[in-house]
Structure 1
Amino acid sequence: MATITKRSKNSWRAVVSLYKHGEYKRLSKTFKTKADAKRWTLENELLKGKGKDLAQRETAFADFFEQWVHIVKKKDVRETTFQNYLITVAIVKRLFKDIKLKNLNDLVVQLKIDEYAETHSRKTTTEVLLKIRTALRYAYARGFLDNDFANLIKTRGKDLPKRNKALSITELKLLRKYLLDNSDKEFHILVLLAIETGARRGELLGITPEAIYEYGVKIEQSISPTSNDNQLKTKHSFREISINKDVYDLLKTISPKENGYLFDWEGFHQSAQLQTLLKEIGISKTTFHGLRDTHASFLFSENISLDYVSRRLGHNSVLTTQNYYLELMPEKKHQHDADALNLLNSLSN
């Protein structure tokens, strides 16, 4: 039931009574005219009749998002993914501050996403937006929002240069030779295994002596720097990857650590160590994950089938492989350009 009370000459107070789960609550607001007060009470009574949870609509979106992450998502995702959600909680708090659920619409959220995109890449912005969209859909389903506007919000962000840059074939050969010639350092063997298998860093750090066979490596777990969760990314990540004899022989020389794993985690500073190594050799800068890109790009350049590369990388589907790794190394691109032009030129002969 709604009531409207005159408080002064230019002040009218409207109150909407709420009853849910055996508890009474009141939603109130002050207006300058009685007509505005009536319009507001009518709108909220209609919403109440549709089952909307008006009390929750007064909650700040940032607070709602944090509650949703801890109550809903924590049970749905792996620990490492949950840690990523916690990072997004801090981002949402900084962007939305005290903006309430009732004040959200596609324009408000779009402005906040655009604000975030000013200093972040399109990829990072998209990852944040996907989480916010999911939370907004949940809020709508629970009756906290009037409209399902999540799909109207777009990612705009900057297309920054790719950090995980694949090395050229020339650089790959130079790096592999250097690693084989200087295999006295354990980190060099780790890098060699990375370009040999295309495995993720966490998967390599999760290798035990029992996972090595002649001639290959079983990928059975993945080490994370943010949690104790050692599960692999997906069920398709469980796989066996073949390796050459020289790499196998080097792996057999490494003694397992006290924790049972083959490689020392070294504070998860492998990318920094890689930068130092590449600079020493005179090779282009890339990240440790860039070694995975290098492995995939090299196989594509040598006409290895997409299906095989996808399974070797541990992807869910070939579409994932196409979206992220279907790039040719510079030398092969030039060769294919020449082949394509020669083929087209033959049409006029």
Structure 2
Amino acid sequence: MIKDTFDNKPIDEITSMQYQKMIDAYAKKHAKASTSRINGYIRKAIKYAMNDGLLNRDFTFGVIISGSAPKDANLKFLEQNEAAGVKTFCLNNYSFKDIVYCQILFGLMTGCRYGEVCGLTWDCVDFKGKTITINKSYDYMRKTGFKKTKTASSVRTILIDHDLITMLKKLKMEQKEYYFEHKFTNPNKLVFLDKKKEIISNNGANYALKRILEEIGAKNIITFHGLRHTHASMLIGNNVSLDYIAERLGHSDTTITVKTYSHLLQESRERGAAKSLKFLEGL
């Protein structure tokens, strides 16, 4: 967005009015929360520039933040047939050497954030109880290690299905064999540590997901975080209780779930109303 607006223009030549126009243009197609987040990124960069003496004024000061779309209108998720296609592709192609497919399958079937996926350790996988515990995240951007989950309520234990259990068992065995053969260690016991002893970047995961979606002919192209919204939409579409959805996603209460997925919930209510009337008419 900065490149399209200012190209190679030096930052000390950018005016507050020009910056406001860029923010307004973004706000026309995005929610206020998204616009605010973009502004926050840029403001932080400007603060660093001022601290280094590259700027003597903050052109982001006093910017007015607006937005034209409700938050849930910006949510990108897969339709159920597309989600099924992604699942089938990953089940047919995952392995330790193609660990990104393991991550994508895991994200789709759990609704975990990417940092939570990267921060999963083997001690948090209960094969017998068929659960995984999310109690930390991983700084996949700067590779500085573990960090706290987004919120306290994000710490949770959730059930996982047979396909995920099978995938994780195979992954653990292949990882262990490969690391033993190459005299590698995994001191943090990371589940999704690849053959180079690295955590795949979020961009890398997004690129792999995009290839899968193009391969299966999906209409919707989403990022890894869209798998979280897809997971939620599938649960909502199958009339799973809001309490359980909030707990599974790590929301502190159902208010956050309702606020985030209001549009999907409205569709679910309308289907429920129609189903109720049909049932009552048949009494």
Residue 164 of structure 2 aligns to a residue in which SS? helix
- The answer to whether the 8 Å contact 1:117/1:158 transfers is no
Match of 1:182 in 2: 93
Distance 1:327 1:178, change over 3 A: farther
Matched positions, count: 224
TM-score, normalised to structure 2, is 0.65
Q: How does 1:120-199 map onto structure 2 within 5 Å?
A: 121-122=30-31, 123-127=33-37, 155-157=65-67, 159=69, 164-184=75-95, 185-199=98-112
Measured after TM superposition, the shift of residue 181 of structure 1 is 2.8
Q: Which among 240, 244, 248 is matched to residue 308 of structure 1?
A: 244
Asked if 1:117 is matched to 2:24, the reply is yes
The Cα shift of 1:237 comes to 0.9
Partner of residue 168, structure 2: 251
The residue matched to 1:226 in structure 2 has which SS?
coil
Find 1:225's aligned residue among 133, 136, 140: 140
Q: Which residue of 1 aligns with 2:157?
A: 240
Partners of 2:150 and 2:110 in 1: how far apart?
17
Which SS does the other structure have where 2:158 is aligned? strand
Structure 1 residues 300 and 116, CA, compared in 2 at 3 Å: closer, same or farther? same
Contact 2:26 2:35 (C-alpha < 8 Å) held by counterparts? no
Equivalent residue, structure 1, for 2:259 = 323
CA separation in 2, counterparts of 1:176 and 1:280? 13
Is the CA contact (8 Å cut-off) linking 1:114 and 1:157 kept in structure 2?
no
Alignment of 1:18-37 (within 5 A): none
Q: Which has the higher strand share?
A: 1
Between the aligned partners of 1:223 and 1:272, the Cα distance in structure 2 is: 20
Give unpaired runs (5+ residues) of structure 2.
1-9, 44-61, 180-184
Q: Are 1:280 and 2:215 an aligned pair?
A: yes
Tell me the secondary structure at the aligned position of residue 260 of structure 2: helix
Q: Aligned equivalents of 2:256 and 2:21: distance in 1?
A: 27
For structure 1, which runs of at least 5 residues remain unmatched after alignment?
1-92, 100-107, 133-149
Quick one: distance in 2 between partners of 1:266 and 1:343?
50
Query: Residue 172 of structure 1 aligns to which amino acid in structure 2?
Result: A
Quote the sequence identity (%): 27
Provide Cα deviations, 1:88-135, integer angstroms capped at 9, x if missing partner: xxxxx9699798xxxxxxxx9xx9656522245333323367898xxx
Stretch deviating more after TM superposition (286-295 or 318-327):
318-327
Question: Separation in 1 of the partners of 2:21 and 2:169?
Answer: 52
> Which string of whole-angstrom CA distances, capped at 9 and with x for unpartnered residues, describes residues 283-311 of structure 1?
23111111000101111111111111111
The offset of 1:177, in angstroms, is 2.5
The CA distance in 1 between the partners of 2:140 and 2:73, in whole Å, is 23
Distance 1:162 1:225, change over 3 A: farther
SS in 2 for 1:118: helix
The letter for the 2-side match of 1:203 is: E
Give the secondary-structure state (helix, strand or coil) at the position aligned to 2:264. coil
Quickly say closer, same or farther: Cα 1:279–1:232, change in 2 above 3 A: same
- AA partner of residue 247 (structure 1): L
Q: Does 1:267 align with 2:201?
A: yes
Could you tell me which residue of structure 2 aligns to residue 216 of structure 1?
A: 131
Structure with the bigger RCO (C-alpha within 8 Å, sep 6+) is: 2
Partner of 2:227: 291
User: Under a length normalisation based on structure 1, what TM-score does the superposition of the two structures give?
Assistant: 0.54
Corresponding letter in the other structure for 1:293:
H
